[in-house]
Structure 1
């Protein structure tokens, strides 16, 4: 299989914030549109420049994101911002084509059962219908990022062969996708499965840019990031505070946390362009809106060199 050189220290890594879409979609209490815009703007203000802001899904299926057009119209777009949204089908693409977007993220599952649960279609039908989606978006001048759910394993079927992942990636490339994003829908990725999928795609679809989207269901999300870096991947999705999951997959929990990812990358010598303190502030804003503690670790502990007043710390007796 094809291999690539590891990403060297000092290299710029793209961190794509997906909390406003992948995180918010799982919240049962509706988040006011103005608050969604405020959180997205705070995340941009931290230095993040790639963001998946919303999704053009059926309001009946995901009522939380029924305000997609309003949110996109209301956010501030700093210089260099790359704003995307998810679309599951042609109707979603037609809505997205009327909005100011840099790219749209499509989705098909690598496993048949999850694709049926997620979009109510077999995989092959989804891929056949994708041609019309690409046509609508390209005509609107919007790029397409090909998304793939359950790329590292399926909660219904178990193992997803890397050859299946590579076949779908190749189809995306033939349709004209700018990149393919491998989604770890229920946190089944391991360093071994990540390495196998990346190498299989590079063999089947040379030149296709690979993005990685990990969840932290079993606590190895950041270990998988390190594997991706060793394989030369420079684009990673993450959600503020560790929000997220999938409403159509059993056992799904949150994405890897944006603050934790940025901390790991910066402490490992990579450039992200993000002010970690400002990002933690945006995470606190998000946590306040959600109304419960979020799982991010850096949100709780702060940066490594955060100083504490010894006078406020109990001294051991004896």
Structure 2
């Protein structure tokens, strides 16, 4: 059946009734969907390690709260760079996406956005990200540029390795270094441990997310941690989450923040444990709900670190 390239249709895992679908001009909707604006969990998960790092750095520096300007810059940068990364990912994966039920209605495989239009859109979003990055100190700017190589390679990993979630973690966790660097102009053990915590957290939640696609991924040959672990996916996620919580506690210890920092790590761990207990490999909708709940897990940790700074 002929499918009009101008038909207005979203994808199954988008937030229902999002303003993109209700209020955005029709000609902009495919581009906003390329940037995943109607799926805000992505930029939240990119942003939260930045905010963790900024709050932990503030507490370590004896400040009463993380720098508000830095928090705003990280928010703008996360939305822009998540959009740029998603658009780039869709350019690379446009043929694979056309063969997977959950992704075949994305703007590129469905024909609603041309390849040329998508490339231009990537450039515009990267420009916004660059303008944000240039507001920080020289060390942080250099650190931001250092992540580019990982971002460029990530979309290809699902074709070659069974744990593309690890490479995604290297990308999404980078903010755990940036917040500390923005405060101190250098790195230390605490942000490195926080970075490792964010990597293992990302592997865990993206493995949960990949449960939705197991059958389609098997058909088209896409590799994922959910397929690799199979029936053992639940204990595997539990292991990654446990390691993440332990590394967060290590970051707290290395920063010298104290009791409130440990309580924040414990609350974060409790949320992750709840996800593991309630996940079901056979329940795709539940997997999506648990994946999205990681915004709350991340906000719990950020709030705890911010409280540690306030009560110093």
- TM-score relative to the length of structure 1: 0.30
Looking at secondary structure, tell me which structure has more helix per residue.
2
More strand as a share of residues: 1
